[in-house]
Structure 1
């Protein structure tokens, strides 16, 4: 069918909302230099908003707003509760909305402190209101850009330090590791700036670029710093007003539930390796627990979803970085819910479940990615496979699985009653 010549000729509606570029990174010097370069490239239309969280645990946040030529604002904000989410809700988003109103025609560069993860900004945008309306009615979050310092990235990703060891923790109960934050910053970005210096070893730069690609194959890489001069205008054209951010993209741990890829699966001999393990049958909880230390001893990063036989209603998130393994609930598998409750999830998740539905397991499946240097594909795959239920255990049936020894018992409570009626059992 041909297009309607009248409607197809209509111009697309003009979006006059200021474009917000969110800039993150764990190397403050590289982030500041990048921000300054972007301001210089657009000295009349770009305002940078930055927050100093060094006193956040005392409820004090310092905010600056500047252009390339001048300091526009410098304020101290006192919060009732000193935490990142409160800062985003009570100052960051209101400031962006206010600047959009008072400086029409200007775009905004939100420069995040080292320990703030870009996904936290996206989450705040999805549920916080400013003056009773969503912040996204006033501004458009155009792109999330992360700056990676090639000279320190691998050390940060391999670090076992907590943020508190660097005095960067946002609260007394903030137990995140440096490696977690660094990984999260890269993974949520749609653009990664590879910041290097003229004397940076070219082989190391290539290795960092490959590792970043394994962590975030969906991100565009922009290498800079290999020469003594920086093309600010060229950099700006590559990272600003790209429209790369998808506001409907789920967080990293929700990607597989929507059928989206979470990693590449390498089969070449590259030093930097990404391994993808998928299985329909569940893990034996005790064997999985016993294997976790060995499983993560060589990897720099692990992520994905899994299910264990003793808790077949629960989709579990798996995450590893900085020496610690984290398992958490992603909610119910759709197979454990009556069909009328499927509308509680996203359209993408329901479509992914229906396309890959298994008559025995439903949408239950394990999808794990492990990323590191010189990982042994065969050994890791064999280890994970040995943790799955055997054919004999599988044949014992659903009711028997719940009685398996489970070191994770009680760790992943689900809201409401667990579905155990026969039609929702595998």
Structure 2
């Protein structure tokens, strides 16, 4: 009977830097005996997330089960990328017990859910659940609108006024589509911040949602996998700002790839990234750096002015020791020349 059952799929969505890759890395290592496959939708030109996950590969989730799609948002390239990828994973021997899909930080989950209605895969897979990750500190700070309370009051007073930013729409669509919300980095937000973030999520959610605090991606797989939500059959309960539209655009964001040689001081690079966040309207920096005299590769990740860097693995013999960073910024405010100058020096 197992050959006739649908393969469950979990969609893991969340705003930029919310911790999706960290969570999936933990699930790969603690899947409770499930054989996993992972689809990573990278936004930008450097396969950072896919490379991180492949370095976590174990027998129950070997590297060949981790597929990266880098040609754009999978909800916009369904026929060309997403459907063939899922079909290929279902043909693996042995077949995965569960498929995880990490969307880009800018993806809208509902168009992706609609893709599961495609005849080629509908009878073979089901969306076990949509997991939305939310950075507690960022949500508590109200970064998705200049003043969340004021915007809400204005919208209630005049339906013709729309002061929402693209970032708020992404956040709200992800919450509206979710079956479970993981509130990440609660230690940075503190008890008051966590409480504020919970209130904002509750206000945005179209229905009551369970919210779980998670630090460093550590959560029992039994909590996330096996929700049996059948989300592809529950679209009406998951409203989106883009309902009624056939597509959506990511023109509100730009990605800039910076490639340079070895660096000498990780702290100096982190300071440059932090200064960049304070002087340019950037959202996210992620990538790798080669540090002179060090055999290990330096992983660099930043959300706004919050920068984290750590050595993740040795450089392979077939890799060029170069530094590659992807910067994601809002389109209307991006200054590519200034960004390059700030990072390259």
Shorter-chain TM-score range: 0.5 to 0.7
Residues 290-314 of structure 1: CA deviation (Å, up to 9, x unaligned): xxxxxxxxxxxxx899xxxxxxxxx
Please give the alpha-carbon distance, in whole angstroms, between the structure 1 residues aligned to 2:192 and 2:186: 13
User: Structure 1 pair 191/158, CA: closer, same or farther in 2 (3 Å)?
Assistant: same
| Structure 1: runs of 5 or more not aligned | 1-11, 161-174, 256-302, 306-315, 318-426
Aligned length: 220
CA contact (8 A) 2:129 2:228 kept: yes
Please give the alpha-carbon distance, in whole angstroms, between the structure 2 residues aligned to 1:248 and 1:120: 13
Residues 234-274 of structure 1: CA deviation (Å, up to 9, x unaligned): 2x11111111243232356869xxxxxxxxxxxxxxxxxxx
Partner of residue 92, structure 1: 82
1:139 aligns with 2:125: yes
CA contact (8 A) 2:41 2:74 kept: no
Partner of residue 137, structure 2: 151
Partner of residue 204, structure 1: 193
Please give the alpha-carbon distance, in whole angstroms, between the structure 1 residues aligned to 2:10 and 2:85: 14
Partner of residue 262, structure 1: none
Q: Given the alignment, which residue of 166, 180, 183 partners 1:177?
A: 166
CA contact (8 A) 2:37 2:65 kept: no
CA contact (8 A) 1:23 1:112 kept: yes
Shift of 1:204: 1.2
CA contact (8 A) 1:47 1:107 kept: yes
| Structure 2: runs of 5 or more not aligned | 148-163, 246-345
Partner of residue 107, structure 1: 98
1:45 aligns with 2:38: no
Q: Given the alignment, which residue of 225, 228, 251 partners 1:240?
A: 225
Please provide the CA RMSD for this pair.
3.9
Shift of 1:109: 0.4
CA contact (8 A) 1:24 1:113 kept: yes
Bigger relative contact order, structure 1 or 2 (CA pairs below 8 A, ≥6 apart): 2
Shift of 1:32: 1.1
Please give the alpha-carbon distance, in whole angstroms, between the structure 2 residues aligned to 1:206 and 1:135: 40
Please give the alpha-carbon distance, in whole angstroms, between the structure 1 residues aligned to 2:20 and 2:121: 25
User: Structure 1 pair 159/18, CA: closer, same or farther in 2 (3 Å)?
Assistant: farther
CA contact (8 A) 1:253 1:304 kept: no
Partner of residue 18, structure 1: 7
CA contact (8 A) 2:12 2:130 kept: yes
Shift of 1:219: 2.2
Shift of 1:75: 7.1
TM-score by length of 2: 0.54
Quick check: which has more Rg, 1 or 2?
1
**Local SS of the residue matching 2:234:** coil
Shift of 1:97: 2.3
TM-score by length of 1: 0.44
Question: Superposed, which structure 2 residues align to 1:187-336 within 5 Å?
Answer: 187-216=176-205, 217-225=207-215, 231-232=218-219, 234=220, 236-251=221-236
Q: Given the alignment, which residue of 97, 108, 113 partners 1:117?
A: 108
Shift of 1:194: 1.0
CA contact (8 A) 2:110 2:177 kept: yes
CA contact (8 A) 1:148 1:192 kept: yes
